[in-house]
Amino acid sequence: MTRRSASPSGSSPRPAKRQKVEHLTSESFKNGVMLAPMVRSGALPTRLFALKYGAKLVWSPEIVDKAILHAERVVDPVSGVVSYNGKSKAIFTTHPVEKPYLVYQIGSADPETAVQAAKTVMQDVSGIDLNCGCPKPFSTHSGMGAALLTNPDLLCNILTALRAAMPPEITVSAKIRLLPDQADTLKLVERIVNTGVSALTVHCRTRNMRPRERALIERLKEIVDFVEGMGRGVAVIANGDCLSAQDALRVREITGAHSCMIATAAESNPSCFSQEPLEDLEKTFVPQYIRLGKYLDNHFSNTKFCMMSFKGKYNLLKKHERTEIRDAMARTKSYEDCEALVDGLWTGEEVMNDLVNSINSRGSQPGALLETGSGVSTTEEELNDKLLSESDDEPALHLPQSTPPEKRENPEPVSLNAPLLPRNERLIPIPAAITGIDVPTPSSSPVPHVHS
């Protein structure tokens, strides 16, 4: 959307005002650190905190096109949360405060369905991203995710259809993985850029690489130069093993990418976008996360899943103190069980107001990649620690037994296992753009442990 300035009263000529651009452009995808799409871990509370702590843009978790088509859009008049509800489940929740920074990720293998899905949510988002990287069978069996990498005609048809159907104020972008061969990757990138996308995220692993394997970010430099050479202004976003806003400088130095995107490190600490990420998260972050989760009616199982994933540096908390808190966190089964963790203070509305204020007061360059410090801050040791912590066999976190065993997996998109919508009388149903029956996301089969 662009805002027209009021016509000047009187006849004296005034200098032309620059139109205020209120929607995303390819420039918005540059010079920032972004929150990656993450099924389950990229829930609304996490996205809001990521924005507060400096993420320039945030991606929604992947949602399979068919899953959202017949959702009912409801708005909570108190919290402002917008929910897209399936028959008994919230498929997607958002809040107007994140809209200017929100990119909605679609899983699709069909141009028409992708367009329908995008139209269903476009009033609440600023960009549509196509997942072309998920290597799990539930995606690839139906031709979605990484299957698109070897079906470039379909991949580009989906992007072209989205670009043609979306109004100019909604960006279209894609997230791919590297192909084993660099020349093939460049050919694919050329075709994608020619569809009219505003941005391209490259997860610098190939389809068969596991999360524990170091991302091949050195391969990105040539891709960035290639895209720049095409002269269309498309932003290239580097993804893979970026640990923080500081570390993004290292990634940019190696890759020349316009921006960086963080997944796992943000799952562990949504304040990693800040120049001074929070420490002692169990004390400094978990209480406000729980309060916000309750205020926004985020399903408790998701709030718990996310809080059990938090893992920051420790400064003040002694080992026995954090063990005590983590055990208490692990025992919770509902928000009511969190009374002690939040010191009996259910001030979620205050947490939300603070988030809204800090997100709304971001400057003209929110979340810009800041050139402070040396620029190459991550040590070999830190990176190895991160990679080891993503071991397929051993969970990264010393999580209590109650943590779901699939903890380190990249979960499948919203489907039959989506969190149940809490009962909430405040919700006002608003008819979805498209009506009909709920079509579930394809279900998964046991799969190897890989991330999109």
Ligand X SMILES: Cc1cc2nc3c(=O)[nH]c(=O)nc-3n(C[C@H](O)[C@H](O)[C@H](O)COP(=O)(O)O)c2cc1C
Which are the catalytic amino acids?
Answer: 134
Q: Given the complex with ligand X, which of 131 and 378 has the nearer CB atom?
A: 131
Q: Given the complex with ligand X, which of 264 and 444 has the nearer CB atom?
A: 264
Are the beta carbons of 366 and 56 closer than 8 angstroms? yes
Q: Are strands 72-75 and 428-430 parallel, antiparallel or unpaired?
A: antiparallel
Q: Given the complex with ligand X, which of 127 and 287 has the nearer CB atom?
A: 127
* Residue entry with tokens 């996205």: 47
Q: Smallest distance, Å, CB 192 to ligand X?
A: 15
d(CA 281, CA 142): 39
C-alpha distances in Å from residue 257, one per residue of 37, 103, 178, 221, 228: 18, 19, 15, 7, 10
Which of 129, 135, 161 is closest to 237 using CA atoms? Answer: 129
Are the beta carbons of 62 and 134 closer than 8 angstroms? yes
Q: Given the complex with ligand X, which of 105 and 441 has the nearer CB atom?
A: 105
Helix (H, G, I), strand (E, B) or coil at 368: strand
Helix (H, G, I), strand (E, B) or coil at 375: coil
d(CA 262, CA 276): 16
Q: Smallest distance, Å, CB 41 to ligand X?
A: 4
Q: Smallest distance, Å, CB 175 to ligand X?
A: 5
Q: How many residues does the chain have?
A: 452
Within 10 angstroms of residue 301's Cβ, the number of other Cβ atoms is 14
* Residue entry with tokens 């399936």: 86
Q: Smallest distance, Å, CB 449 to ligand X?
A: 10
Q: Given the complex with ligand X, which of 295 and 305 has the nearer CB atom?
A: 305
Report which residue's Cβ sits closest to ligand X: 452
Q: Given the complex with ligand X, which of 34 and 75 has the nearer CB atom?
A: 34
d(CA 352, CA 98): 12
Burial of 380 per CB tally in 10 Å (0-12, 13-18, 19+): exposed
82 backbone dihedrals φ, ψ, rounded to 5°: -105, 125
* Residue entry with tokens 């096109």: 65
Which of 131, 126, 24 is closest to 67 using CA atoms? Answer: 131
What b-and-e string marks burial along 222-235, b requiring 16 or more CB atoms within 10 Å of the CB? bbbebbeeeeebbb
| DSSP state letter for 90 | E
Q: Smallest distance, Å, CB 13 to ligand X?
A: 50
d(CA 127, CA 172): 6
Q: Smallest distance, Å, CB 133 to ligand X?
A: 5
Q: Smallest distance, Å, CB 409 to ligand X?
A: 7
Q: Given the complex with ligand X, which of 295 and 309 has the nearer CB atom?
A: 309
Q: Given the complex with ligand X, which of 144 and 329 has the nearer CB atom?
A: 144
d(CA 265, CA 211): 12
Q: Smallest distance, Å, CB 308 to ligand X?
A: 12
d(CA 439, CA 431): 17
Helix (H, G, I), strand (E, B) or coil at 34: strand
d(CA 134, CA 279): 32
Q: Given the complex with ligand X, which of 33 and 351 has the nearer CB atom?
A: 33
Q: Which two tokens stand for residue 363?
A: 């400057």
Q: Which residues bind ligand X (CB under 6 A)?
A: 36-39, 41, 61-62, 105, 131, 133-134, 175, 203, 239-242, 262-265, 267, 410, 451-452
Read off the amino acid at residue 187: K
Q: Smallest distance, Å, CB 71 to ligand X?
A: 17
